[in-house]
């Protein structure tokens, strides 16, 4: 380390004394050398991240508001499949509950985990800090009406989940060791391969897998560990915490905990998720309902405010349309329907009827968006609005936390514990998504899988030590980029899924 610092110093002096001004990304080299590692990485990745983000999240003007095309793409698919499949998100709901309860389960069915465990793993990958802080940001930007459109978008997203998770199970592959591998990379490859384009199918599957690997290291890993570190500081005393300025220490502990779970594969991940997810969901739901109950006098007026803001045509350019855009956008980012990542977890389920897991997956956006996000919205609108908290400049998780603290002073600690659990559970789910994408690219050998797990844990530690925004922006854009080929695949498989659904419903009704 001492030699490295000396070398950087000498090189900086030489660059300073030289008449030739060496630059990178329009920045003098000596200035970049003096930057922290966070800043150096940001300088390298930033132009690539900005360019990709501008393409993926390109906005078109709509009544004076910018509407990202990728969000429109996701919402359009959700709306289409809801209508095309005859509102499967309604008529398949009770069947989904029965399947999760194990009513039709058979121990002899192929697969690795139960329906409940598959659902828990998938939910652990979507219920995260965004359900607490992201909703507050949406309401701050789009107003109370954003909560209404967020709910609607979650309802529609249930249909998209049904299609992609059914396909994940139907076209999964069985490995020699008894494990299974499934997800968009497999059903996209199968579609093209079955039509005489095997090379193109492998290329498209490889692109999806590579993008998801990049995404898992960013938003599914570094961002989660960074947020978990922040929450741990809140719980343990902030600047006086034992972890203050010791992100590496917390990172090692968190990496060890995650590593202990993911080393056992999907069975271990699903076992932990099936215990953590119900607990953390119940903890947060109970706390949110309690706060809403304590603001019961504002509940009626708050619901009226949400609905009127959602359809407030008096200021259509900045009111209803803005609320709809922000609400749809937050829902798309929250439940990830259309991206296809959750189908990787659902693919491991024990079943010989793919439709059953498609039905189970309906519950994922219902819980993630329609329940958790809606409760967060109601906490903010019933408490923050009538008590002037919106005027204090608070935003994100700080606004949600302040809404809880308005009634119960120590509730931010409960929030911190919930957020910490959310970040941990999201990390272990995305480790599995990344692993299956990794093995698609490099094979199922045990050494190959171990290498990925070690790298994943190293990135957890790194996420607690540095905050590299450009890397997170790049991985975020890559994850949403793969929604383009995935949804095209869903459309192409649409007639097949509709036929399978009709056969299943006729058989079980």
Question: Could you report the per-residue pLDDT of 442-461, keeping only the tens digit for each?
Answer: 998 989 999 999 999 998 88
Contact 156, 410 (CB under 8 A): no
At 355-370, the pLDDT tens digits run 999 999 999 999 988 9
pLDDT in tens, 367-398: 988 999 899 999 999 998 888 777 766 777 77
35-181+211-508 fold:
Hydantoin permease (1.10.4160)
SS3 track for 5-63: HHHHHHHHHHHHHCCCCCEECCEEHHHHHCCCHHHHHHHHHHHHHHHHHHHHCCEEEEC
Residues 6 or more apart from 98 whose CB is under 8 A from it?
104
pLDDT at 131 over 80: no
Q: Residue 66: enclosing H or E segment and its boundaries?
A: strand 65-68
Reported as a single tens digit per residue, the pLDDT across 90-115 is 999 999 999 998 877 777 788 899 99
For 388, other C-beta atoms within 10 Å of its C-beta total 8
**Tokens standing for 219?**
């938003």
Bridge partners (DSSP) of residue 173 are 181
Is the pLDDT score of 15 beyond 60? no
Q: Give the pLDDT confidence score for residue 105 in this predicted structure.
A: 72
Distance in angstroms between the alpha carbons of the first and the last residue of the chain: 69
Pair 96, 362: CB distance under 8 Å:
yes
**Structure confidence by residue, pLDDT tens digits, 176-211:** 888 899 999 999 999 999 999 999 999 999 999 999
Handedness of CA 471, 475, 476, 478 (dihedral sign): positive
Q: Is 436 exposed, middle or buried (0-12, 13-18, 19+ CB in 10 A)?
A: buried
- pLDDT above 50 (res 508): yes
Tokens of 22: 């060496």
Cα–Cα distance list, 208 to 101, 145, 243, 337, 435 (Å) = 33, 35, 37, 15, 13
Our separate counts of H helices and E strands in the chain read 25, 6
Confidence of residue 49 (pLDDT cuts 50, 70, 90): confident
239-269 pLDDT, tens digit per residue, is 777 777 778 888 899 899 999 999 888 899 9
DSSP letter at 312? -
The answer, yes or no, to whether residue 343 has pLDDT greater than 90, is yes
Give the C-alpha distances (Å, rounded to integers) separating 216 from 188, 284, 364, 474, 476. 20, 25, 20, 11, 9
Average pLDDT score, the chain: 83
Average pLDDT rounded to a whole number, residues 409-436: 86
Distance CA 477, CA 459 (A): 19
Question: Which residue ranges make up each domain of the chain?
Answer: 35-181+211-508
């Amino acid at each position: 380390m001492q030699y490295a610092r000396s070398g950087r110093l000498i090189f900086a002096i030489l660059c300073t004394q030289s008449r030739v001004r060496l630059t990178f990304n329009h920045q003098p080299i000596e200035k970049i050398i003096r930057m922290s590692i966070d800043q150096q990485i940001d300088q390298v990745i930033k132009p690539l991240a900005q360019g990709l983000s501008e393409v993926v999240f390109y906005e078109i003007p709509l009544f004076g508001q910018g509407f990202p095309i990728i969000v429109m793409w996701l919402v359009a698919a959700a709306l289409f499949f809801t209508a095309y499949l005859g509102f499967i998100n309604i008529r398949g709901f009770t069947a989904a509950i029965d399947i999760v309860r194990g009513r039709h389960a058979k121990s002899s069915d192929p697969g690795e985990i139960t329906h409940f465990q598959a659902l828990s793993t998938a939910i652990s990958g979507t219920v995260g800090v965004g359900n607490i802080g992201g909703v507050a940001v949406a309401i701050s930007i789009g107003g109370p009406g954003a909560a209404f459109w967020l709910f609607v978008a979650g309802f529609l997203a249930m249909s998209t989940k049904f299609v992609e998770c059914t396909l994940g199970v139907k076209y999964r592959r069985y490995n020699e060791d008894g494990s299974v591998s499934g997800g968009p990379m497999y059903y996209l490859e199968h579609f093209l391969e079955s039509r005489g384009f095997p090379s193109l199918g492998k290329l498209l599957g490889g692109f999806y897998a590579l993008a998801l690997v990049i995404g898992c290291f960013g938003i599914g890993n570094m961002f989660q560990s960074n947020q978990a570190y922040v929450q741990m500081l809140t719980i343990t005393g902030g600047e006086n915490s034992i972890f203050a300025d010791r992100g590496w220490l917390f990172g090692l502990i968190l990496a060890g905990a995650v590593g202990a779970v993911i080393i056992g594969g999907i069975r271990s991940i699903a076992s932990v998720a099936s215990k953590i997810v119900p607990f953390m969901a119940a903890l947060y739901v109970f706390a949110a309902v309690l706060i809403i109950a304590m603001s019961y006098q504002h509940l009626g007026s708050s619901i009226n405010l949400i609905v009127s803001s959602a359809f407030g045509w008096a200021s259509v350019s900045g009111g209803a349309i803005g609320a709809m855009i922000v609400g749809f956008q937050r829902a798309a980012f929250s439940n990830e329907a259309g991206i296809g990542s959750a189908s990787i977890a659902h693919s491991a389920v024990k079943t010989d009827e793919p439709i059953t897991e498609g039905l189970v997956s309906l519950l994922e956006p219902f819980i993630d968006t329609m329940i958790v996000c809606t409760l967060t919205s109601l906490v903010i609108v019933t408490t923050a609005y009538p008590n002037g908290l919106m005027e204090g400049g608070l935003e994100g998780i700080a606004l949600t936390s302040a809404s809880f603290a308005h009634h119960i002073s120590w509730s931010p600690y409960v929030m911190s514990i919930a957020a910490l659990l959310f970040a941990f559970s999201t990390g272990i789910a995305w480790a599995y998504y990344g692993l299956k994408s990794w093995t698609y690219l490099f094979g199922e050998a045990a050494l190959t899988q171990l290498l990925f797990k070690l790298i994943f844990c190293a990135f957890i530690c790194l996420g607690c030590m540095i905050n590299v925004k450009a890397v997170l922006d790049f991985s975020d854009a890559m994850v949403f980029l793969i929604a383009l080929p995935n949804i095209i695949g869903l459309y192409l498989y649409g007639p097949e899924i509709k036929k399978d659904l009709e056969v299943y419903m006729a058989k079980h009704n």
